[in-house]
Structure 1
Amino acid sequence: MRTAQLADSAWIDTAIKLGNSLGAIAAFLAILLVVFLAAGLAAGRFQRPLAVLVFLGPAIVLLIVGLVAPLIRTVYLSFYNADSTRFIGGKNYGWALTTDSIHQVLLNTALWLVIAPLAATALGLVLALLVERMKHQAVYKSLIFMPMAVSLVGAGIIWKFVYEARDSSQQQVGLLSQLAVSLGWQHPPNWILSHPLNNFLLMAVMVWVQTGFAMVVLSAAIKAIPDEVTEAARLDGARGLKLFWFVTVPMIRTTLVVVLTTVMITTLKAFDIIRTMTGGNFGTQVLANEMYSQSFEQYNIGRGSTLAVILFLAVLPLVAYNIVQLRKERGTR
């Protein structure tokens, strides 16, 4: 009887929450409908300002609510103590810049920021050039791009099984360990525990996921190179590596920069792979995961907010550089 009552109460509570959610959605749609109807009926000098307000207003509101306001609050909280009850100035930033463990986190993040994007972009460029010379290239591109359809959590779980290591007396189930045994390495290490090798093995997961993205974008850029440019270079004697380095790369330079900076931004925010595979242990901690750990495991909101601000400041130059490069290319067209 008691169980039935609890079940009925849970169903009623769920129904009420679902009704509230549907009501909120319906109200939002109704407001949009009224606004669009008003914009359609407007005439004269009010027509253009109202149209701008209708189309830009919701986006600006969502931008303020979802980005600007949380950013301001995060910066504000970074100057307070763990439970946000006392103003402590820049002590959290001093902690982030002087603590040895955070230095290791920053070093790991810097390694990720340099190695993973460069490897993914370079590998994507090589694959783009190779696939262009093959028949049925759409099939190969789809297979290479497929890891992009896998979430980073799923990719972490897949590669965790690849790196699985057991005692030499047991049958190996990890692909890498079994491959090492097949090649004569009788006692392969526990890959995830081996520092600093484990950092590079985790980067390989990010490279595996992002290479398909780099390949598809760079392949499209290579196809967009005018045939007359390539033919003129060949008539001037450019062949092979020379043609690639002095013609192809300059023609797709902006696309290369966009791909590289995009992968760098994704890498800076790398959280899922670390969280799934090591939890930040064994010397693999990075800035995004440390931010989560400080905020939601150690409940130190001040330090977590400080790391979030540092992460935001690290992303800003990449985004700014990307925008500048795109504007330069538009100016040269």
Structure 2
Amino acid sequence: MQQLIYAIATMIAGVLGCAAYFFGSNFILDTIYPAKGKDAARAARNMRRAAVIRPWLFLGPALIALTLYLVYPVFESLRLSFLDKGGQNFVGLFNYKWMIADQQFRESILNNFMWLLVVPAAATFFGLVIAVLTDRIWWGNIAKSLIFMPMAISFVGAAVIWKFVYDYRDAATAQIGILNAIVVWFGGEPQAWITLPFWNNFFLMAILIWIQTGFAMVILSAALRGIPDETIEAAVIDGANGFQIFFKIMIPQIWGTIAVVWTTITILVLKVFDIVLAMTNGQWNSQVLANLMFDWMFRGGGDFGRGAAIAIVIMVLVIPIMIWNIRNARKEMEGR
């Protein structure tokens, strides 16, 4: 209850603080540069100056926050990656050489690569199929709401839910895990699914696919609604069946949106951390880059150099995809 009270108080204070800043900054600016007065030329000049300054008053806090929490950490991580464990002595490229030779780092890279192959493709595919199907049924909006609901759950919360899905009990004990209950019902043996090397990665991927399918569905559904009805009607008149309309009419027209959704999920996959931490903590060959960075940075006494070097690798992998995604999104907007 105390934590709930603190959270509510924080939200109220934040909203009131934003309102106070909005009205206060406007009042001060209008006081310094009054738009009224006997001198019409001066009043006009004040209005122009205020118009130039006002946007920066509103952008200022956001720019300061971005600089403090995004820009500064990038340069600080880059600096730390060239330092030793304590972040004091310069060691050059030692941390990067260590990464290349480290078995866990190679395992993390391989696992991240598998996540990149499976999760964006599966989430985008399921989102697209569901978007098409739900647009054809009267209760489609209800179905969309249910499918989108996992997006409101934190990754840790989703991992806790799926722990019950994968839960394992001895064969002589009643299974409370949904997956093992189904396996036992069909006469199979229960398995500790998340401890199976290699395969456990796919069980973890299912959680992120479950979450991100709703995101893909919403974006792609909006894109599908933008396809002119005349195009579909002309295809039907020409004798095209449902599959031909889907693959030859719909997908080509929303390909740009599909690419944006795909790359957005790809960026998320490169930074995946919470699910692995909550489910396996990187054990049983399920380690990923972000979790490995967390281990080196904050556990076992901490190694700021190695942790920062892994963070730089993640950033280098994300940046090209992010740039391509932004450019593609801009082209999509300009095309419309």
TM-score past 0.5 threshold: yes
- State how 1:104-115 maps to structure 2 within 5 Å: 104-115=107-118
Please state if 1:212 is matched with 2:202: no
Letter in 1 for 2:179: L
Question: Residues of 2 paired with 1:276 and 1:330: CA distance?
Answer: 38
- State how 1:281-296 maps to structure 2 within 5 Å: 281-296=283-298
Letter in 1 for 2:217: M
**CA shift for structure 1 position 83:** 0.6
Partner of 2:97: 94
* Sequence identity percentage: 41
Question: Residues of 1 paired with 2:107 and 2:17: CA distance?
Answer: 50
Cα offsets for 1:164-192 (capped at 9, x unmatched): 1122122212111111111121x232111
Partner of 2:140: 137
Question: Residues of 2 paired with 1:23 and 1:189: CA distance?
Answer: 49
Partner of 1:238: 240
- State how 1:51-130 maps to structure 2 within 5 Å: 51-130=54-133
Partner of 2:29: 39
**CA shift for structure 1 position 207:** 0.5
**CA shift for structure 1 position 99:** 1.4
Question: Residues of 2 paired with 1:171 and 1:287: CA distance?
Answer: 37
Contact 2:169 2:175 in 1 (8 A): yes
Letter in 2 for 1:307: I
Partner of 1:258: 260
Question: Residues of 2 paired with 1:297 and 1:70: CA distance?
Answer: 19
**CA shift for structure 1 position 327:** 2.2
In structure 2, do the counterparts of structure 1 residues 241 and 80 end up closer, same or farther at CA, with 3 Å as the change threshold? same
Cα offsets for 1:92-130 (capped at 9, x unmatched): 111112212210011001111221111011011111111
Partner of 2:303: 300
Question: Residues of 2 paired with 1:23 and 1:330: CA distance?
Answer: 37
Partner of 1:267: 269
Contact 2:22 2:58 in 1 (8 A): no
TM-score for the superposition, normalised by structure 2: 0.87
Letter in 1 for 2:262: L
Contact 1:39 1:54 in 2 (8 A): no
TM-score for the superposition, normalised by structure 1: 0.88
Question: Residues of 2 paired with 1:183 and 1:303: CA distance?
Answer: 48
Question: What SS does structure 2 have at the residue aligned with 1:162?
Answer: helix
Question: What SS does structure 1 have at the residue aligned with 2:282?
Answer: coil
Question: Residues of 2 paired with 1:53 and 1:125: CA distance?
Answer: 40
Letter in 2 for 1:135: W
Question: Residues of 1 paired with 2:92 and 2:30: CA distance?
Answer: 52
Question: Residues of 1 paired with 2:243 and 2:21: CA distance?
Answer: 60
In structure 2, do the counterparts of structure 1 residues 172 and 246 end up closer, same or farther at CA, with 3 Å as the change threshold? same
Give the CA RMSD over aligned residues.
Answer: 2.3
Question: Residues of 1 paired with 2:218 and 2:13: CA distance?
Answer: 42
Question: Residues of 2 paired with 1:197 and 1:175: CA distance?
Answer: 18
Question: Residues of 2 paired with 1:126 and 1:165: CA distance?
Answer: 32
**CA shift for structure 1 position 137:** 1.1
In structure 2, list runs of 5 or more residues that go unmatched: 1-5, 7-11, 34-45
Question: Residues of 1 paired with 2:170 and 2:224: CA distance?
Answer: 48
Question: Residues of 2 paired with 1:132 and 1:25: CA distance?
Answer: 38
Question: Residues of 2 paired with 1:25 and 1:230: CA distance?
Answer: 47
Partner of 1:3: none
Partner of 1:10: none
In structure 2, do the counterparts of structure 1 residues 27 and 119 end up closer, same or farther at CA, with 3 Å as the change threshold? closer
Question: What SS does structure 2 have at the residue aligned with 1:168?
Answer: coil
Cα offsets for 1:59-109 (capped at 9, x unmatched): 222221121111111111111011111100111111112212210011001
Contact 2:83 2:305 in 1 (8 A): yes
